Structure 1
Amino acid sequence: MRFLRRSLVGLFLMAVTVGLLAYAGHAVYGALETVWNREERVRPANERIFAVNVRAYDAVTVTPVLTGFGEVRSRRTLEVRATASGTVVELAEAFEDGGTVREGDLLLRVDPRTAEAALEVARTDLAGAEAELRDARRALVLAGDDVVSAEDQAALRTQALARARNMASSGIGTEAAVDDAALAEASALQAILSRRQALAAAEARVDIAQNDLARAEIALSDAERALADTELYAAFTGTLSDVTVVEGRLVQNNEQLANLVDPDRLEVSFRISNAEYARILDADGDLMQAPVRISLDVLGGNLVTDGVITRESASVGTGTTGRLIFARIDAPRGFRPGDFVSVHVDEPELQDVAVLPSTALDAAGTVLVVGEDERLEIAQVELLRRQGDDVIVRGEGLEGRLVVAERSPLLGAGIKVRPVSPELDSARAEAEAPAMVELTEERRAALVALVEANQFMPQAAKDRVLAQLAEPMVPAATVERIESRRGG
């Protein structure tokens, strides 16, 4: 009996399971059949509208600014070099890096003892040369007197010879007397020749003495200059840099000791491209003396000064391009040689142009403008300048139209957009602003009484309405709502 009962229970459970499976299969088949027989409903796709930032195309006159970077340099820098060798015995207190000296200030003094001794020797030599010249001139005078005396004696001997010949011809004198007179005359003439040779020697001695005196004077001048060179003075007012000397150091002649920089005569050199260079040329092709603004970033602040372009480099350096421009700094207060600064040059004005964000222009030189039904259109423009994050462009027929300020790959011609800009938002806000009315004191008091008498209005709402009624201008909708309730 137990076996039969268990068998019947098993058959019953199996039958129930098969029935449930059959019902489940029928339900699944029915659901699939319903799905297969259902007609597809295609929902209409809604057009996507993009919100875009726009800017109005306003044709204005713009002065482009050419921006470059350069280095401040001194227009007058002097190498301070030693003019004499020796030990530095005196040094100015300001002779140090950053020290300021005035024109004519004594910078340093080298030990002058050797130069002073040489000067004394030169003075002694000059005194000896002057004495020798005086002695030579006196000897020249005496030699001249000897020549005169010899000529006088020769004249007497000639006269004696003439008398002797006259006496001999008269028979009074003898031929021997004539011969003696002739010999005496010849001796006198020979004496004249000797005296003239002595005179020439005296003249040569004077010339030699004069040359020796000139050499002594030159030597004295050199000694005085050598003594003066032991003292070094500032050639102009400026600031010292690269100082390499201290008191007591042995320096050599022409050794560089420091650099003297004039802080009031500075200029800036900056390099620009060939295209930028062409824009600052005048009608004759010469470089314009354009004004510039020079700025130096100093710990978050800026030192700004003005200047003017003065010249350009004579040639393009090896491995470089563009042009090197020099500009004089008018007020160099705070600037120092070596500062890296930015230079801004005002170019000639551009008329009938617009300034747009650089993100509004693509590589093809086109912009997107909002057309009819707020759909985008492509417009061609001419790129004139790039100014930081902005571009200066010129286009035809774009005056007053809205230009997309920030392009994206999702935007293109025919796309419907919703323009967004501060000007449009303010216009919409003004259009959507509630109408305001000005109340008379009687009407204001009546409205306040109605609000206070309303027992069904919450206290917070009542306070808000009373605050509005206390203002000079009250929303017209609030007034109408209160007065309509009174009429009810």
Structure 2
Amino acid sequence: MKTHRLLVAAGLIGAIGLGAVVTRASWLGSSERAPGPAKARSVSVEVARAERRTVPVEVDAIGTVTPVASVALKSRLETTIVAVHFEDGAPVREGDLLFTLDARQLDAQIAQAEGSLARDQAQLAGAERDLRRYSDLVAKGATTQVNLDNAKTQVDVLQATIQADQSALDNLRVQKSFTVIRAPISGRISAAAVKVGNFVRPADVAPLATINQIAPVYVAFAIPQRTLGELRDAMDAGASRVVATIPGTQRSETGKVAMVENTVDATTGMITVRGIMDNTAETLWPGTLVSSKLIVRTEHAVVVPSVAIQRSQTGSFVFVIKDNVARVQPVTVLRTAQGLSVVETGLAGDEQVVVDGQLLLLEGTRVEVRPRRAGA
């Protein structure tokens, strides 16, 4: 038994030694076949060039289109509509005939007033003849002074009566002019609230129709109070502009600042600005919400695509490519607009900055520039 155990132990020891030899040889072989240090990998990136060019200093806001003038048409008489001379929503020009009202009652009153005037004029002519006759008789001593004075009084009374008759007639003619309603301004008219045959009166709350002047048109919006000083300087120099764009479309109108409100809203720190647009094509419609852009001035500065700007705890930076190596370049960004960032410090212009692939970059990473995608 002892001999058997010794043989088993010797076999185990031999097996362990053989395994150690084989393992060491394997390790040595692997070390001989191991390659050298791994070659540094290049990161594929897209780049754009920093440009020094003229850029506008602008303020974006949401604006509302309002008409320059709006007129609600109402009847000044209690009468009936006999004709409507426009189509609902049609453009109208100043002086165009819009409504005709029933004028028959006024025509009768005018005829009556004209008759009263003619009667009093005839009586005045007779009184003037009596005055001349009494004057001759008094000169001859054939009548008393009292008769002459009475004749003069009668002439004065009839002259005053004629003046009152003429005033009443003029008033009736003015009243008749109200039976013809014309457009006081040019613009777009609303749908007629009443049609032929309807009875209208001055006390009616709803207007017959409303005319809004659309060309030109106002765009009102609010800007921060910190911009007020620059805006006033730009207005004095005639350099301010306003661009109003309908959201979701490329349709826009350009105009100038027409008015700045005289008070800043203390609760919001905003001030209302009103721009005026020619709007000859009627692009802007009253009541529409538009994207307003106030261009205060233009300046020469370095711009880069906004996607190139990266941010860290120490501030903003961009990756600049030099000799196919990425370098971290701290920058100071003044503002961002329309996908471009205006850089105040850090770039001189004409540098290549990374716009895609920044997540794989570090200081000194080698890069491979690939063409930019269409539309980027």
Q: TM-score range by the shorter chain?
A: 0.7 to 0.9
**2:117 equivalent among 115, 123, 126:** 126
Partner in structure 1 of residue 365 of structure 2 = 417
Work out the CA distance in 1 between the residues paired with 2:176 and 2:78.
11
Question: Contact between 1:77 and 1:261, CA under 8 Å: does it hold in 2?
Answer: yes
**2:340 equivalent among 383, 390, 396:** 390
Partner in structure 1 of residue 133 of structure 2 = 142
Cα 1:47/1:118, change in 2 over 3 Å: farther
Cα 1:278/1:57, change in 2 over 3 Å: farther
The reply to whether residue 58 of structure 1 matches residue 50 of structure 2 is yes
Partner in structure 2 of residue 470 of structure 1 = none
Partner in structure 1 of residue 280 of structure 2 = 331
Partner in structure 2 of residue 258 of structure 1 = 209
TM-score normalised according to structure 2 size: 0.73
Work out the CA distance in 2 between the residues paired with 1:340 and 1:424.
36
Question: Contact between 1:57 and 1:354, CA under 8 Å: does it hold in 2?
Answer: no
Partner in structure 1 of residue 165 of structure 2 = 216
Question: Contact between 1:73 and 1:338, CA under 8 Å: does it hold in 2?
Answer: yes
Work out the CA distance in 2 between the residues paired with 1:373 and 1:247.
81
Residue deviations 1:338-374, cap 9 Å, x none?
2222334555332242323255143734445457993
The reply to whether residue 240 of structure 1 matches residue 189 of structure 2 is yes
Cα 1:308/1:420, change in 2 over 3 Å: farther
What RMSD over aligned residues (CA atoms) do the two structures have, in Å? 4.2
What stretches of structure 2 of length at least 5 have no aligned partner? 1-7, 24-35
What amino acid does structure 2 have at the position aligned with 1:241?
A: S
Cα 1:102/1:404, change in 2 over 3 Å: closer
User: SS of 1:63's equivalent?
Assistant: strand
Higher helix share: 1
Work out the CA distance in 1 between the residues paired with 2:372 and 2:127.
111
Question: Contact between 1:87 and 1:251, CA under 8 Å: does it hold in 2?
Answer: yes
Partner in structure 1 of residue 218 of structure 2 = 267
Work out the CA distance in 2 between the residues paired with 1:335 and 1:375.
48
User: SS of 1:362's equivalent?
Assistant: strand
The reply to whether residue 82 of structure 1 matches residue 31 of structure 2 is no
What amino acid does structure 1 have at the position aligned with 2:68?
A: R
The reply to whether residue 350 of structure 1 matches residue 350 of structure 2 is no
The reply to whether residue 288 of structure 1 matches residue 238 of structure 2 is yes
Residue deviations 1:150-203, cap 9 Å, x none?
3xx8xxxxxxxxxxxxxxxxxxxxxxxxxxxxxxxxxxxxx8xxx334333332
**2:250 equivalent among 267, 284, 302:** 302
Q: CA deviation at 1:237?
A: 4.3
Question: Contact between 2:301 and 2:343, CA under 8 Å: does it hold in 1?
Answer: no
Cα 1:361/1:140, change in 2 over 3 Å: farther
Residue deviations 1:410-447, cap 9 Å, x none?
866xx33233544699xxxxxxxxxxxxxxxxxxxxxx
* Identity over aligned pairs, percent: 22
Bigger radius of gyration: 1
Work out the CA distance in 2 between the residues paired with 1:349 and 1:95.
46
Higher strand share: 2
Question: Contact between 1:240 and 1:259, CA under 8 Å: does it hold in 2?
Answer: yes
Partner in structure 2 of residue 5 of structure 1 = none
User: SS of 2:256's equivalent?
Assistant: strand
What amino acid does structure 2 have at the position aligned with 1:266?
A: V
Residue deviations 1:367-386, cap 9 Å, x none?
4545799364342x332221
Cα 1:359/1:370, change in 2 over 3 Å: closer
Relative contact order, higher structure (CA 8 A, sep 6+): 2
Partner in structure 1 of residue 174 of structure 2 = 225
Question: Contact between 2:324 and 2:367, CA under 8 Å: does it hold in 1?
Answer: no
